[in-house]
Structure 1
């Protein structure tokens, strides 16, 4: 702990592991808890209640990952592209690199535990010249994945509910209109729950995660014991073999199947966005990220391997009239009542997962609005509800955008784009600050109390290399040549690429004039000099450049956040 420890007011909260950089002392330090002081050193005042613990933060993160519903929802892109190999050695290969991404992200979270997360880190690490643009691209990409998270999960949840109805009533075939309305209803209930006070949300998600884990374990037990298939287990050659469901070579088909794994293993960043609501965030947040990614890797491999060894007919499952591969798979191997029971548990988990996605998205939206990323729309989005102390406006804004995205349901295969966006946008946002840390900052990065030590650089290189390879692959359609139709097109490039082009153009045409990256919203005692007000920070920094060279890359600045931000991450 620092020498300031004695100046802080006593608290019953767990001790916080943090270090203040020289000259980076927030005002009113004696009145702050350890967590509040650590956040103030990054330039923000405490606005949320810190009612998340390491466990409840992990609970939300694990709920957002939602292994059981994620695997069930994305079977089209795993088994459908590469067959059982996607579930076995394909999972092992891709998850190694995904763990590198998660570990490198955890380092950033320990150094800069703010709701802005990856966006804040990109601004800091890119330096004063390119920081605003790096933050702009990372922030918008991250918001795109967050705003598509709940719609994609809730779409999968609705599809499973309607598939269960088809199983019990074989004459019933769900329509696109019914799927849309049911998904919208689920989203609205999630928005209501996400508007509750922080403690209620934390407790709700803690219960949801417990149920999620129990349902996952029960499913893992039921599948090998209750299956009535003959043979009960497929030979190794089948379970680890490729069944190419695309028009591409086997190697490309396997890489394309990583979409399922990447989308499934992308919820661990939720812990980062909840760091301002977590006690001892500089330690608890990175631990939560690693716990989520590590447990997801292990349990995901177990469940996927069981599916690979018990599935009887891959094409039959993928092309089933039920319209949901996981439901078709369960009916293929289990008695109907048992299959419905497992499907019901998966639906419950999917609902919990959608709720976690909604919470994480609202925190990201609030953090970006706080720095005026959304232009004139930012004003209402950065308001905290005075009754619940949660960003209610951000919750409902994301809900409305999500409902509009669900109109893709009426475009047939176009709805697949929200899953591809979730994978691409997530890992663009995840690895941008990691890349900047490696290339721009190097060994000047100021580590937090949790770090990888000697493995930091290899982990970052592996993470960035994996994403560079996967970005174009995730835009490939499953068919090509004569088989290509508008319905079979992969619309990811348009649905993700077009908005990103618009926001980049917006930055260079107008936003660069007023968007300077994360903003200070707390008075600081920076550079051992008094600052009269938040509004005077930028002028003070400009006047101080000659004395302390704040804009030099060795110290850096990002507009109004300046030395507060960079002194906490770059030495």
Structure 2
């Protein structure tokens, strides 16, 4: 793709599967994000909503994987947009997509630190009921998690491929370590009718369908992030084949485990009201405690999820820094000449790693004043990433429908491409739309979903910065080959 090789290609199939599975961390995220689906949709909504989101996410992974096979670069979405968009709009659309993806990945990183910090505080509440909860303590824990991620990315970088294989094994074993005691020790099991046919509308929407749709946000978050593999493309051997299969494999594995843990929790959770009213702030901790009748047992089970969430944060920094580095390499960010540097001894983008950590540290400070404000920022994850997906998918669909010649990579969907692309686009549009809804129909400043405001600011900033600065310095991905060498050079299969 005309890019000079600057990073070590030391990741293979299993190590990249480890990165993608543990970063997406679906089965770990399902219990954490359970409350949204329980309040809006209920047990039935969680199960059927998961199946719906799993299908949509698989379509996205296939669509992105096909383009990653065509052009396996760390820039990913914005690079493909530059190749696929009409010449007149190519630079702007590529720039806009790149900013959305870059900022969304910073939100992914911050969300990991925030979640781990608050889960640890929840465990303290479980074991020490008199603990006086303070947000500044959560901020310190947030910082500690990000610091662990930085240490691992810098000082253990050469060991990361092996570490990822080990954490993949822990990801799979940890699932069984929670599923078995949850099912075996729980004495209060719900009936099949209560799990598969009960829908709730605690948000006061007066519509089961609308309530169900609003409650999907947690499940969407639990499945998003497979494009992490794309941003590691320049560190992967045989990337044009490994990246697509890694994304598909990760969604298949995580979707299976996520659905299983969803059903298990719903059968074993007991009284929904008690779980939602947990003093820990996390219903899943209360469910574990109820199942084991032991604070120690619940702590052990929660610690597995906490550890794997730390690993997810490590991999979030890995992907976020590569996305930032790639965008800076193409002169799209302020101080690009610094952020694009690769430290010669380690062959790592240390400046992009450092800035990503700094951004998370600054965002963590917001939590001291308002957890609502921080939640609004990290909620950019779904809308930001999904928007960065829909632009290149729409462009490749247009080429398919028109019958334009495209030079495909070794991994392609062939005749199924149009159907899969359309499924992806419809799913993304609905997902982004409902991700802006608050959890209740009647809102207060504390319960309002401010993500639409944050998303609007990001979109306006991306567009505004293009007119102020971007159009002067950004000419699309800097390549040593022409667009014609990649797109339209052959008739290929469409």
The TM-score bracket by the shorter chain reads over 0.9
* Structure 1 position 458 matched with structure 2 position 430: no
- Matched-pair contact (CA < 8 Å) for 1:197–1:390: no
Report the secondary structure of 1:243's partner residue: coil
Distance 1:389 1:570, change over 3 A: farther
- Matched-pair contact (CA < 8 Å) for 1:141–1:425: yes
Paired residue for 2:274?
316
Structure 1 unaligned residues grouped into runs of 5+ = 1-41, 525-560
Instruction: Measure how far apart 1:565 and its partner are.
Output: 4.7
Tell me the distance in 1 between the aligned counterparts of 2:121 and 2:376: 21
Q: Report Cα offsets for 1:168-188 as digits up to 9, x if no partner.
A: 111114211111111111111
Distance 1:78 1:407, change over 3 A: farther
Paired residue for 2:436?
475
Distance 1:196 1:121, change over 3 A: farther
Match of residue 67, structure 1, among 8, 11, 26 = 26
Distance 1:267 1:569, change over 3 A: farther
* Structure 1 position 292 matched with structure 2 position 250: yes
Within-5 A mapping of 1:120-131: 120-131=79-90
* Structure 1 position 269 matched with structure 2 position 230: no
- Rg: which structure is higher? 1
Instruction: Measure how far apart 1:569 and its partner are.
Output: 9.0
* Structure 1 position 80 matched with structure 2 position 39: yes
Structure 2 unaligned residues grouped into runs of 5+ = none
Q: When the two structures are superposed, what TM-score results if normalisation uses the length of structure 2?
A: 0.94
* Structure 1 position 242 matched with structure 2 position 199: yes
Distance 1:565 1:137, change over 3 A: farther
Superposition RMSD in Å: 1.9
Tell me the distance in 1 between the aligned counterparts of 2:53 and 2:27: 18
Paired residue for 2:461?
502
Instruction: Measure how far apart 1:348 and its partner are.
Output: 0.9
Paired residue for 2:299?
340
* Structure 1 position 403 matched with structure 2 position 403: no
Match of residue 307, structure 1, among 262, 265, 268 = 265
- Matched-pair contact (CA < 8 Å) for 1:75–1:326: yes
Q: Report Cα offsets for 1:485-536 as digits up to 9, x if no partner.
A: 111111101222202201101213331122111002x5x6xxxxxxxxxxxx
Report the secondary structure of 2:226's partner residue: coil
Paired residue for 1:52?
11
Within-5 A mapping of 1:156-175: 156-175=115-134
* Structure 1 position 416 matched with structure 2 position 378: no
Match of residue 364, structure 1, among 323, 343, 347 = 323
Paired residue for 1:92?
51
4+ residue runs of structure 1 moved beyond 4 angstroms? 567-571
* Structure 1 position 511 matched with structure 2 position 432: no
Tell me the distance in 1 between the aligned counterparts of 2:490 and 2:422: 19
Report the secondary structure of 2:215's partner residue: helix
Q: Report Cα offsets for 1:51-87 as digits up to 9, x if no partner.
A: 0001111111111111233223322322232221232
Report the secondary structure of 1:57's partner residue: helix
- Matched-pair contact (CA < 8 Å) for 2:26–2:255: no
Tell me the distance in 1 between the aligned counterparts of 2:370 and 2:98: 28
Tell me the distance in 2 between the aligned counterparts of 1:408 and 1:320: 25
